[in-house]
Amino acid sequence: MIYFLNAIIDRIKSYVVYSKTRAELAQLDDRSLADLGFQRGEIEFIARKAAEAN
C-alpha cells in the first residue's frame, strides 16, 4: 500500500514539474528561448525531461 501511495505522490510531483516548466518556457519569446539554446517546438520535450529527472 505504501509503495502505491509513493508512486502516486511521485507522479503528482513529476506532473507539477512538467506543468511549471512548460508554462515558464511557453511565456518566453523566441529570442529568449534561443538564448537558452531551445526552440519553441522543444518545449514539450524539455518539460518531459525535467519531469523525468525529478
Q: How confident is residue 9, by pLDDT bands cut at 50, 70 and 90? A: very high
Q: How many CA atoms, within 13 angstroms, populate the side-chain half-sphere of residue 49?
A: 5
Evaluate if residue 51 carries a pLDDT over 90.
Answer: yes
User: What pLDDT was estimated at residue 54?
Assistant: 81
Q: How confident is residue 1, by pLDDT bands cut at 50, 70 and 90? A: confident
20-47 per-position pLDDT tens digit: 999 999 999 999 999 999 999 999 999 9
21 within 8 A of 46, measured Cβ to Cβ: yes
| pTM score of the predicted model | 0.87
User: What pLDDT was estimated at residue 32?
Assistant: 97
